[in-house]
Amino acid sequence: MKRNILITGGAGFIGCHVVKLFVEKYPDYNIINLDCLTYAGNLENLRAIESSPNYIFEKVNLLDVSELEAVFAKHAVTDVIHLAAESHVDRSITDPLAFVKTNVIGTVNLLNVAKDYWGDLENHLFYHISTDEVYGSLEDGGFFTETTPYDPQSPYSASKASSDHFVRAYANTYKMKTVITNCSNNYGPNQFPEKLIPLCIHNIKNNKPLPVYGKGENIRDWLYVVDHARAIDLVFHEGRAGETYNIGGFNEWKNIDIVQLLCQKMDAKLGRASGTSEKLITYVKDRAGHDHRYAIDASKIQKELGWEPSLQFEEGIEKTIDWYLENEDWLNNVTSGNYQKYYEEHYGG
């Protein structure tokens, strides 16, 4: 059966890397990128493959059920890789309902449309991408595993936990073939600059303050986005239906250590005296409900599917910094709010 794979959120940070990988690696698949192009969706991320014969873009909101149904019928969708989500914790604190609408109701809409269109669910896969934040906060010892009880602490993580539960419920109730992955913090090219690493790169370059929550001692596990896309490819093709796989970078860093590393590397690349950029570090009031530590045990995907990160963190950070310094136009378009111009110019508004 020819595969017509619907990838939601394909113009976003992680999604664009998944779309590019699938379009280039699987020329016999049709890849339908469905994205509503909110502030974090940018079709310039996909310029390299937008003319590929097996790539299609559809501007659709997950809350529009009739449009979703039309896309499934028009492209005879066989499988779904669901990445579309509101993902920034700070935004979820100020506007939790937006996260409920997109992450919970949007996911249920997609599940319903897929279930009804496919009918016979045996030969179709609904792959849901989630986050390690659904597990809550770790103390200094231990790791999240696939059996760690859910304990979401923010509106964002609560919305993602809810969507995970709905995917599992549809697998149980309707016998839908599903798989879920929960990943650690991603970094790399094309990330919207409200997140820590691209924000610091942008602000260091422009001599702006580097805001650090609390004392900067919160710990995160970091995963290079291209390695995450490789993992998604493996799970889609070889993962066992009904299973959950955790995807992590085996790479824990305190936030303040990340910021200081970025300062050191940026000073060297920009020809500044060592220590110049560290003076920009500004400690700000801690985020409400800020989880102390996330760390993933990714041994299951490593043992079952042979996946492991390809890059050491410092190598990945070098690649990431170089990409942002070499793509100033992309960064300027995103930070100025001009990210939708590309869509209007290339797709007619």
CATH of the domain at 39: 3.40.50.720
160 confidence band (pLDDT: 50, 70, 90): very high
Which residue in the list 44, 86, 133, 227 is annotated as catalytic?
133
> What's the pLDDT score for residue 291?
76
Residue 60 included in any domain: yes
- Structural domain boundaries enclosing 172: 4-188+221-253+292-312
Residue 168 included in any domain: yes
What is the number of alpha carbons within 13 Å of residue 300 lying toward its C-beta? 19
Which residue in the list 55, 127, 156, 342 is annotated as catalytic?
156
The overall average pLDDT reported for the chain is 92
Q: How many domains does the chain have?
A: 1
Residues 304-328: tens digit of each pLDDT: 999 999 988 889 999 999 999 999 8
> What's the pLDDT score for residue 88?
79
Residue 157 included in any domain: yes
Which residue in the list 44, 86, 132, 227 is annotated as catalytic?
132
Residue 116 included in any domain: yes
pTM comes to 0.93
Residue 325 included in any domain: no
> What's the pLDDT score for residue 336?
63
84 confidence band (pLDDT: 50, 70, 90): very high
- Yes or no: say if 43 and 343 are a contact pair by the CB < 8 Å rule: yes
> What's the pLDDT score for residue 294?
87
Min mean pLDDT across 14-18, 65-69, 333-337 is at 333-337
> What's the pLDDT score for residue 140?
65
| Distant-in-sequence, close-in-space partners of 317: CB < 8 Å, separation ≥ 6 | 187, 197, 261, 262, 265
Residue 334 confidence (pLDDT) above 80: no
> What's the pLDDT score for residue 344?
61
> What's the pLDDT score for residue 343?
52
* CB atoms inside a 10 Å sphere around CB 284: 11
SS (HEC) of the chain: CCCEEEEECCCCHHHHHHHHHHHHHCCCCEEEEEECCCCCCCHHHHCCCCCCCCEEEEECCCCCHHHHHHHHHHHCCCEEEECCCCCCHHHHHHCHHHHHHHHHHHHHHHHHHHHHHHCCHHHCEEEEEEEHHHHCCCCCCCCECCCCCCCCCCHHHHHHHHHHHHHHHHHHHHCCCEEEEEECEEECCCCCCCCHHHHHHHHHHCCCCEEEECCCCCEEEEEEHHHHHHHHHHHHHHCCCCCEEEECCCCEEEHHHHHHHHHHHHHHHHCCCCCCHHHHEEEECCCCCCCCECCECCHHHHHHHCCCCCCCHHHHHHHHHHHHHHCHHHHHHHHHCCCCHHHHHHHCC
> What's the pLDDT score for residue 26?
97
Residue linked to tokens 């910094």:
321
In the residue annotation, 132 being an active-site residue is answered as yes
241 vs 247: CA distance, rounded Å? 16
92 vs 183: CA distance, rounded Å? 19
95-100: average pLDDT: 96
Residue 129 included in any domain: yes
Residue 229 included in any domain: yes
114 vs 213: CA distance, rounded Å? 41
> What's the pLDDT score for residue 338?
57
> What's the pLDDT score for residue 259?
96
Residue 109 included in any domain: yes
Q: Report the DSSP pairing between strands 185-187 and 210-213.
A: unpaired
238 confidence band (pLDDT: 50, 70, 90): very high
In the residue annotation, 150 being an active-site residue is answered as no
* CB atoms inside a 10 Å sphere around CB 331: 17
Residues 164-195: tens digit of each pLDDT: 999 999 999 999 999 999 999 999 999 988 78
In the residue annotation, 194 being an active-site residue is answered as no
> What's the pLDDT score for residue 292?
84
